[in-house]
Structure 1
Amino acid sequence: MGDCGKSCIVKRAVEITEIDYRRYGILYNLSGDGVDTGNTNHSAGDGWEDTDTNVSLLDTPGALGYTLGSGTPFEAVEMERHLHTQEAQIPAGEAIVFCLAQACDGAPKAEDVVPVILRPGFVFVIHRGVWHSASHGIGGAVRYYWQALAYVNEPTVWEEIEGGAVRVEA
């Protein structure tokens, strides 16, 4: 996979359940399997089963987006943050990989970037001000949904990562 040069740190993505994800946002497990993230309701009937969030996904109205991201490995050169909205990341059938870095006054630092894997059946709602990259597939390109308060000229901030790019491997 090529060398990313002196100004690049290589990091391997980890399952979002393996980090303290509460520092970055709210994790919902809608699959009913594995870790109990709370904030969900489960019901079932004759021929159906359902899990939903027991609170609104976002604390503002939100647009729904559908994005195509390239596969891993990828180099995160810049990250974005939203001070006006939360943003939900929702896999559309395949796992997605994205980077997180805690909210701070300046640009995110390469050593603080945490690449995570979000599996289908999970939704991650990123807190306001938390830095994040676009999402990517494990290996190949993948589509995913996002939800956030989006409008023309919204105040989204993209900044280059201090300390150079982060090469993310899955």
Structure 2
Amino acid sequence: MSAVDAIHARPVTSDNFSRYGRAYDLTDDTDGKVVWTVGDGWNDGFTKTPLIDGGGHLGITRGGQAPWDCRAMERHPLTEEAIFCLAAPVILAVAPASDADQPHRDEIEAFVIAPGQAVVMDRNVWHDACRGVSGSAPYYWMAVCGLGESPWVPVSGGPIKVSAAAGTGSTK
């Protein structure tokens, strides 16, 4: 049995997510990876480079609620995958990209993605479906689909409980 039986998600930042890919914040007007524009009564931002490499498909997943037992994960060897939420924050559980046949529970980390943020996972990063921080929450994803099977495999070492850290509500 692992020394850690549960992990708590922390708010995602470019720094703490860099092991898995890129994180963007389209809400604070300061992310250097975003182009910011202002008009009469509005402002916006868009990523300086395309969100993922390749012409991605847009999808939506309706995730359950945290906490949950992370029992299985998938990875995509031929595409990056972007995750961004609709209106409520979600938790993404990930494990490092590897040549192993399964992710290991001791390598799993979790991040809260708030509305206005996006993450892009590198190829082969293990991940579970996201869950809402404080209730069921749908979220968008973008990846190149039709590249073969994307098998879900059990987490080596058994499941691990994933939850939001105290005070991780609907804010970043």
How does the TM-score come out when normalised to structure 2?
0.88
- Please show how residues 10-159 of structure 1 align to structure 2 within 5 Å: 10-17=6-13, 20-32=16-28, 36-106=30-100, 107-151=102-146, 154-159=148-153
Q: Determine if contact 1:82/1:157 at 8 Å carries over to the other structure.
A: no
Per-residue deviation, 1:137: 0.2
Q: Determine if contact 1:89/1:146 at 8 Å carries over to the other structure.
A: yes
Q: Determine if contact 2:90/2:130 at 8 Å carries over to the other structure.
A: yes
In structure 2, the gaps of 5 or more residues are 165-172
Q: Determine if contact 1:84/1:155 at 8 Å carries over to the other structure.
A: no
How does the TM-score come out when normalised to structure 1?
0.89
More strand by share: 1
Q: Distance in 1 between matches of 2:16 and 2:40?
A: 37
Counting aligned pairs with the same residue, the percent is 33
Q: Determine if contact 1:81/1:156 at 8 Å carries over to the other structure.
A: yes
Q: Distance in 2 between matches of 1:56 and 1:19?
A: 20
Q: Distance in 1 between matches of 2:9 and 2:16?
A: 14
Specify the code of the residue in structure 2 equivalent to 1:99: A
Q: Distance in 2 between matches of 1:123 and 1:139?
A: 19
* Cα shift readout 1:119-163 (whole Å, capped 9, x = no counterpart): 111010000011111011012100100000012x72313221111
Aligned length: 162
**Which residue of the partner structure matches residue 3 of structure 1?**
none
What is the Cα-based RMSD across aligned positions, in Å?
1.7
